[in-house]
Amino acid sequence: MKDWQAYVIVAPIALIIGAIIGGFIVRYILKKQIEEWKKKIETPDREQIRNMLTALGQKPSEEQINRFIRMTQNQCKKETQNPKKAAVKKKK
């Protein structure tokens, strides 16, 4: 009878501790995965930029393409350093 009582007390505690540890592991893995996705999205391809500028009616030069790449990289760095917080609008 005492074994059953110990099991009733220990099992829920073990489940809660396991859930907490599992939550931290999942959070860490998802955070790393999101960072990898952001790195892939951050760097635009030269061909993409060339096609975009051509679609806008411009004849892209290498200088324009390089300037555009640097501009997007600087903007992404700035956003990662100072993430924008959602502004809550108050109703009048």
Q: Is the dihedral of CA 85, 40, 66, 45 positive or negative?
A: negative
For 3-24, the pLDDT digits (tens) are: 788 888 899 999 999 999 999 9
* Model pTM score: 0.46
For 43-87, the pLDDT digits (tens) are: 677 888 888 888 888 888 888 888 888 888 787 777 667 665 544
For helices 46-55 and 62-81, give the axis angle rounded to 10 degrees: 110
Phi, psi of 16 (to 5 degrees): -65, -45
d(CA 52, CA 61): 12
In 1-92, the DSSP E strands lie at none
